[in-house]
Structure 1
Amino acid sequence: MQDPQMLLLLYFVLPVWLIAGFADWLCHRATHIESTSGLKETYIHILMFLEMGTPLLLALFLEVNALIILLMIVLFFCHEATALWDVSYAVKTRRISPAEQHIHSFLEMVPLMALLLVISRHWPQFLALFGAGFEAPRFTLSLRAEPLPAGYIAAILSAIFVLEMLPYGEEYLRVRQARKQMK
C-alpha cells in the first residue's frame, strides 16, 4: 500500500484513537464513575461509541462515496454535541483531571483528523455533495471494490473489542452493580 493518507488512517489515526478511548476509560475508573456520575454518563459514553463506531465500520467495509461522507459528517457533529453534553454533565458530578481533559481533546480531534483524511481521499465525492466538481454524488451502499487486508480488519476489530468494547462493557456492568447496591 503506497497511499500515504490511507497509511496514516490505518496505522496512526485509528490506533491513536483507540488508545485515547482506553485511556479515557482508565480515567473514568480512577474517578470511580460508578459512585459519582453513574449510569447516565456511561450511557452517554455508549452513545458516543455508536456515533463514531458507525462511520468507522462503514469506512472499513464499504466504498466511500457522497452518502458515506455525509453520514460521517453528520455523526461527527452529533458526536461533538454529545461530547459537550458528556463533559457538561460529568464536571458537575466528578473531578475531570487535566490528563482526562487532554485525553478528551484527542477524542475530539482524532475523529476530525480521520474525517478530513477520508474527505481528502474522496474529494470528488465530497464536492459532489455540494453540487460542485465533475462527479455526480453517489448515494449507494456497496462493499469496497478493494477490501482492506483481512489481517488488518481482524487486528483492528480485535483492538476495538479489547480496548473499547470490553472496558466500556465493564464500566457499564460496574456502574449497574453499584447502582443495585445503593438501592
Structure 2
Amino acid sequence: MRENTEPMPEAARALLMYVVFPVWVAAGFADWACHRRTRIAQTSGLRENLLHLLLFAEMGAGIVAVVLLEINAAVLLLALVLFAVHELTVYWDLHWSVPRREVGPFEQMVHSFMEILPLASIGLLAALAWPQALALAGLGAEPADWSLRWKSQPLPPGMLLAGLALSVVFNAVPLAQETWSCVRWRLRLRTRGSPGPT
C-alpha cells in the first residue's frame, strides 16, 4: 500500500519536512536555553532533566518511525499513543519543575510550540495517508493496515542526514550538556554535604 502522491499529501509532506520539523528543533533549542537561564541544575535539578530526556526519547521514537516506516494505520496509532504519553510526561515535568524553577512567559510560549507541533505533525501524517487515517477511525472503504514495514519510497539519505544533524546539534548535544550540568551540581552538593534538588 503506497502513500498517496496527490498534491495535498505532497504539500503535507513539504510542510512536515521544511516547516514543522525545523521549527520543532528550534523550539527544543529555545527550551534548553530557558532551562540554562533559570539554572536548572541548581533549582529543579537532575529529576527535571531526566524527564526532558524521556520527552526527547518519546518524540524521537515517533519521528524515527515516521521517517523510516510506511505511513499506515499502525504508524498513525503509534504516533497518537506516543503523543498521549508525551503529554502525560509534560504534565509530570511541569508538576515537578514549576514549584522549583521560574517558568516565565517566553518558556511557556516555547512549550506551546513543543506541544502543538507534534499534534500538527499527526494531522499532516493523516493527510499523507488519508485512507489509512479513515480506516483507523473505522471509516472509509480501505481496511486498516497494521503492518510495520520500511517505506516503499525511502526519503533521500541527504535529507535524513540533515535532519539527524539538526536534531543532534540543536537538541541532543544541549540536552547532554544539561544532564552533565545537573550531575556535576549534584556531585558538588554531595561533596559539601548540602541538600539540593533531587
Residue matched to 2:195: none
Residue of 15, 29, 37 corresponding to 1:22: 29
Structure showing greater Rg: 2
Shift, 1:131, TM fit? 2.5
Q: Flag structure 2 segments of 5+ consecutive residues without an equivalent.
A: 191-198
- Partner residue, 2:180: 173
In the alignment, what sits opposite 2:70?
Answer: 63
**Structure 1 residue corresponding to 2:143, chosen from 136, 139, 143:** 136
2:62 partner SS: helix
- Deviating beyond 6 angstroms after TM superposition, the runs of 4 or more aligned structure 1 residues are none
| CA distance in structure 1 between the partners assigned to 2:130 and 2:54 by the alignment | 29
1:38 counterpart residue number = 45
Identity, % of aligned pairs? Answer: 41
> Any stretches of 5+ residues in structure 1 without a counterpart?
none
Letter in 2 for 1:135: E
Deviates more, 1:124-133 or 1:85-94: 124-133
In the TM superposition, 1:93-112 aligns within 5 A as 93-112=100-119
In structure 1, what is the Cα distance between the partners aligned to 2:183 and 2:168?
20
Distance of 1:106 and 1:117 partners within structure 2: 16
TM-score, with structure 1 as normaliser: 0.97
Distance 2:24 2:168 in 1: 13
Q: Give the letter aligned to residue 119 of structure 1.
A: A
Confirm whether residue 76 of structure 1 aligns to residue 117 of structure 2. Answer: no
Contact persistence 2:71–2:128 (CA under 8 A): no
Other structure's SS at 2:74 match: helix
RMSD of aligned C-alpha atoms? 1.2
Amino acid of the residue matched to residue 106 of structure 1?
Answer: F
Task: Give TM-score, length-normalised by structure 2.
Answer: 0.89
Which residue number corresponds to residue 152 of structure 1? 159
How far apart are the structure 2 equivalents of 1:31 and 1:146? 44
